[in-house]
Amino acid sequence: VSELEVNTVSAASLGVTSSLADATVAEIAGLGEIEIPITGGELAGLIEVRDVQIPEVMERFDQLAAVLMEEVNALHQTGYGLDRTTGIDFFSGESVIDISINPLLQAQPEKLAVAGEPDAEGDNQIALAIAQKRYEELFADGRETFEEFNNSTLSIVGVHSQRAQRHAENNDLLVQQLTRLQASISGVSIDEELSQMIQFQRAYEAAARYISTVDQLLETLMNM
Amino acid sequence: MRITHQIITTQAILDMERSLRHLEKTRSEVASGRRLSRPSDDPIDVSRALGFRNEIAGIRQHRRNIDNALPRLNQTESVLDSMNEILLQLKQHALQLGTQSTVNDRDRENAVEQIQQLKEQTIQFANTKIGGQFIFAGSNTRTRPFEEVDDQVYYRGNNAEISVEIEPQSTVPINIPGLDAFDTSESGVFHMMNDFKTALMQNDKTALKEIIDRIDAHTETILKVRTVNAARTQRMEISQDRLLDNEIDTTQVLSETEDVDLARAITEFAEGQNSYQVALFSAARAIQPSLLSVLG
């Protein structure tokens, strides 16, 4: 057990610096690193969501964006625009957060490389090829298409959430039951207290009457 | 287990809360009409519903593709039909002037004039445009495909086919490359018309007989491409019907998955309201009395 000196004059901020994978380390400004294992409770839950579950989902979205960009850009680069431009990307960006349409295309849409050959304004081969990517199984080791992969992500989130809700409900019931048991032992029943109070009151009255009677007896004796 | 008033109060609060939560859920279902508002409501059904939505979007796009393609196919058919008429007229001329012996110079001059007219018309048909695009130019759709220079006709288009996707992974070409219908080579239809004019001007009966055979061959060619075009049209129209049925069916399944049965939801909402009222009422009644109120 680490000893923590409490400084009563100043306040320091508490930061959690590493993830749940190893023992979580809390850093207190001015006092350095102190190991405080956070393995349960609301804090652990928040940390798990931040460091494990959300990154898992974000990674899937990143993968979706990366494959989309890679496949579409590769095809688009081989296509030709109306002005014979070729070799440009359709998407620009690094990840799901900044994926966007190439600003060059937005400014000059005639460079959209839909045709497979130059000077063939009605050609749509590249567009067809890109459209076919919808049916190609590019995810999960060649088992899932774009749509299926996205669906899976949704399912994962749904299942995690559902499981968390179930756990919360179950634990709620446990807390309720324990509270009842505790209240059963230490709680006050007004009926009980009042009944007992009346009992004690009567007992007291009886004792008082007894003393009064003994007092009268003694008085009689004294007056003989 | 001892029951204290604290237990009764706590439990009453919990029961009211549960009742209220159920009430809120049924209210939300009635107001939104949806059973599924979050993935955790039913992860499997949400996934299925998303799948159906994607499918419907795809079907709608395919229907749009067919709607955009059919006018071009129909226009192609119309032009080829007109070409057939032109070839018929040419054949009539050829028969008349080739077999009759009482043909004079003026008849032949008129015929030459008419053939020239039919040639101009053919070039015009071959340069048909729809939606700003030439339909007999292959994929060179912005350039006028057939150009006449000094009585010769040259093809400026290419031989590419343009296809559209009408069903998943199923594409159909929507054009007839220009040369397939309007050959510009020496054995082609334009040369035939030039030779026809020459034969008339030189009054060459033998040549005229040959012209008739060539007209037949060209008629055959037109019929071939017309058949191809008609087959594509029919395929698209059949797909169109099937896609519409698919869309309706999928929309129905989507609704069954996603949407709430309004009658049932309203009933449950009414029940929920009732339960909540009862919970409130019973809680109020239960937490008040104690021995205190009975004793004087």
Report the complex ipTM.
0.81
Q: Which domains does chain B have, with CATH numbers?
A: 62-253 (1.20.1330.10)
Task: State which residue of chain A sits closest to B291, comparing Cα positions.
Answer: A191
pLDDT at residue A10 tops 70: no
Banded model confidence at residue B2, pLDDT cuts 50, 70, 90:
confident
Q: Does the pLDDT value for residue B155 go beyond 90? A: yes
Name the residue among A116, A182, A132 with its Cα closest to residue B168. Answer: A132
**pLDDT at residue A15, as a whole number:** 63
Query: Looking at residue B99, what is its pLDDT?
Result: 75
Residue A29 has pLDDT above 80, yes or no: no
B38 touches chain A (CB under 8 A): yes
What is the pLDDT of chain B when averaged over all its residues? 92
**Confidence at residue A36, expressed as pLDDT on a 0 to 100 scale:** 72
**Which range, of A143-147, A167-171, B200-204, B269-273, averages the lowest pLDDT?**
B200-204
* Span B210-215, average pLDDT: 93
Who has greater pLDDT, B283 or A38? Answer: B283
**Residues of chain B with C-beta less than 8 angstroms from the C-beta of A117:** 139, 160
CA angle A195, A196, A202 (to 5 degrees): 95
Structure tokens of B189? 């239809």
Average pLDDT over residues B98-127: 89
Kind plus residue range of the DSSP H or E element containing A61: helix A54-78
Q: CA B282, B284, B289, B293 torsion: positive or negative? A: negative
Instruction: Tell if the CB–CB gap between A176 and B14 is shorter than 8 Å.
Output: yes
**What residue in B sits closest to A122 (Cα-Cα)?**
B139
Choice among A124-133, B201-210, B260-269 with the minimum mean pLDDT: B201-210
Least confident of B93-102, B205-214, B220-229, B239-248: B93-102
Q: What is the pLDDT of residue A106?
A: 94
Closest CB to A188: pick one of B6, B11, B51. Answer: B6
Q: Has residue A65 got a pLDDT over 90? A: yes
Whether A111 and A85 have beta carbons less than 8 Å apart is answered as yes
Does residue A29 or residue B256 have the better pLDDT? B256
Task: Please report the pLDDT score of residue A17 as a whole number.
Answer: 58
| Distance, CA of A21 to CA of A33 (rounded, Å) | 17
Q: How many residues are listed for chain B in this entry?
A: 296
Per-residue pLDDT, A28: 63
| Predicted pLDDT at B180 | 95
Q: What's chain A's average pLDDT? A: 87
The more confidently predicted of residues B254 and A184 is: B254
Average pLDDT over residues A146-161: 94
Q: Which of A123, A166, A177 to mutate to test the interface with B (most CBs of B within 10 A)?
A: A123
pLDDT tier for residue A146 given thresholds of 50, 70 and 90: very high
The answer on pLDDT for A2 being more than 60 is: no
- Residue B295 is predicted with a pLDDT of 74
Question: What average pLDDT does this structure show over A62-76?
Answer: 96
pLDDT above 90 for B244: yes
**pLDDT over 80 (residue A11):** no
The confidence score (pLDDT) of residue B70 equals 96
Categorize the per-residue pLDDT at B237 as very low, low, confident or very high, splitting at 50, 70 and 90: very high
This prediction's pTM: 0.80
Half-sphere exposure of A193 (CA within 13 A, CB side): 10
**Burial grade of B134 (CB within 10 A; 0-12, 13-18, 19 or more):** buried
Query: How far, CA to CA in Å, does A140 sit from each of A56, B11, B55, B83, B224?
Result: 15, 49, 21, 55, 47
Share of chain A above pLDDT 90, in %: 64
- Burial label for B193, CB within 10 Å (0-12, 13-18, 19+), is buried
Burial class (CB in 10 A: 0-12, 13-18, 19+), B47: buried
pLDDT computed for residue A8 by the predictor = 67
Work out the percent of chain B whose per-residue pLDDT is above 90. Answer: 76
Q: Among A120, A192, A195, select the one facing B160 at the smallest CB separation.
A: A120
| Residue range B69-74: mean pLDDT, rounded | 96
Select from A119, A147, A192 the Cβ nearest to the Cβ of B54: A147
**Mean pLDDT over residues B37-66, rounded?**
94
Question: What is the rounded average pLDDT of the residues B223-232?
Answer: 97
Q: Which uninterrupted H or E stretch holds A32? A: strand A32-35
- CB < 8 Å from A in window 46-85 of B: 46-47, 50-51, 54, 58
Nearest CA in chain A to B158: A120
Q: Which two tokens stand for residue B221?
A: 């060619």
Lowest mean pLDDT among A25-39, A157-171, B2-16, B203-217: A25-39
